[in-house]
């Protein structure tokens, strides 16, 4: 009978765990839908801003119009700012593990000849990098829990100021990008220097004549800053969306595994119970025959 008690206890525990995983899956499904809507709107705005920047760069005079965030060749110490975006919580499969592994692989070649600073977003990244030798900037760690434009603009301002003052020669983001409900991809993306695709193309004659006030250079500088800030916001929301998609998959698989384990345990319980009943009947029958004899 103790064996049956043990099986019953396991069935109870696994049943409770299944209820938790199912509840977490449903919560993440709801949050995933909202995050997808927000990400779609941000990407549409990003496309419109890129189109405006492209229109500004078409027909430029290459000798007059300068890129405010160019590729720099600094003498002396080179500094890399690596922004690693993870989640605050676990239970989302390999979501955080993939980002952290990619980040360490990316840093290794730079650490030999470049000063590296790590800016962490999310508690999982902070817990991981605080054990290593690289300086960790944790003032923006809590952004991942509540992504607002004000916080993302503050982060973008920090990166832009450090780049303009030649403190950082390169700013790179590593995060999970949302592809679909069942797929997330780790992306390594350069934030600064910022070189639009149109900048690399040959100057073209504009199809329309534009009047710039006060001038084209100031417009381009302001527009690039706006694009960088919006890009940071889009990346944070993209990672947030991917996190919920990963959690939906992980909790779904956990619920399925719980179902399989419950089926196995119930089968084991029924067999053990039937064996005990059969043994009890056999003992009663044997006892009755012995009394008659």
Please give the Cα distance from 175 to 77 (Å, whole number): 26
Q: What is the residue whose two structure tokens read 């029958």?
A: 285
Would you give the distance in Å from CA 61 to the centre of its chain? 40
Q: What contacts 13, CB < 8 A, 6 or more positions away?
A: none
Please give the Cα distance from 175 to 152 (Å, whole number): 15
Question: Could you report the per-residue pLDDT of 181-201, keeping only the tens digit for each?
Answer: 888 999 999 999 888 766 555
pLDDT at 273: 83
pLDDT at 282: 81
Please give the Cα distance from 253 to 22 (Å, whole number): 10
Please state, as a whole number, how many other Cβ atoms lie within 10 Å of the Cβ of residue 167.
Answer: 13
- In the structure encoding, which two tokens stand for residue 250, read together? 């992980």
Q: Which one, of 128, 139, 159, lies nearest residue 232 by Cα?
A: 159
> What is the set of domains in the chain, with CATH numbers?
28-248 (3.40.1380.10)
Element (H, E) at 119: strand 115-121
Q: What is the residue whose two structure tokens read 């030649």?
A: 166
Stated pTM of the model: 0.85
Question: Could you report the per-residue pLDDT of 30-56, keeping only the tens digit for each?
Answer: 999 999 999 999 999 988 888 888 877
Which stretches in the chain have pLDDT values below 50? 1-2
pLDDT at 1: 47
SS3 content of the chain, % helix, strand, coil (to 5): 60, 15, 25
pLDDT at 64: 67
Residue 215 region by backbone torsions, left for phi larger than 0, else alpha for psi between -120 and 50, else beta: beta
């Amino acid at each position: 009978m103790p064996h049956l008690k043990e099986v019953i206890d396991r069935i109870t525990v696994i049943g409770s765990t299944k209820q938790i995983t199912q509840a977490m899956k449903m919560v993440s499904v709801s949050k995933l839908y909202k995050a997808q809507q927000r990400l779609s709107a941000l990407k549409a705005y990003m496309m419109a801003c890129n189109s405006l920047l492209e229109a500004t760069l078409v027909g430029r005079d290459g000798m007059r119009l300068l890129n405010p965030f160019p590729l720099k060749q600094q003498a002396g110490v080179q500094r890399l700012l690596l922004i690693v975006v993870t989640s605050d919580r676990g239970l989302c499969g390999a979501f955080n593990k993939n980002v952290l592994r990619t980040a360490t692989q990316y840093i290794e070649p730079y650490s030999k000849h470049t000063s590296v600073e790590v800016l962490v977003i999310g508690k999982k990244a902070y817990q991981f990098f605080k054990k290593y030798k690289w300086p960790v900037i944790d003032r923006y760690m809590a952004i991942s829990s509540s992504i607002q434009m004000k916080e993302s603009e503050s982060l973008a301002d920090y990166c832009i100021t450090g780049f303009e003052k030649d403190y950082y020669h390169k700013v790179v983001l590593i995060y999970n990008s949302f592809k679909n409900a069942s797929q997330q991809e780790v992306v390594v993306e350069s934030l600064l220097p910022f070189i639009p695709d149109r900048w690399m193309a040959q100057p073209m004659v504009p199809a329309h004549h534009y009047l710039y006030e006060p001038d084209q250079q100031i417009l381009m500088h302001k527009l690039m800053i706006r694009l960088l800030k919006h890009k940071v916001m889009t990346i944070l929301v993209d990672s947030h969306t991917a996190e919920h998609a990963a959690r939906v998959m992980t909790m779904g698989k956990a619920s399925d595994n719980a179902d399989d384990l419950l089926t196995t345990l119930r089968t084991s319980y029924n067999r053990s119970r039937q064996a005990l009943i059969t043994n009890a009947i056999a003992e009663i029958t044997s006892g009755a025959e012995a009394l008659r004899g």
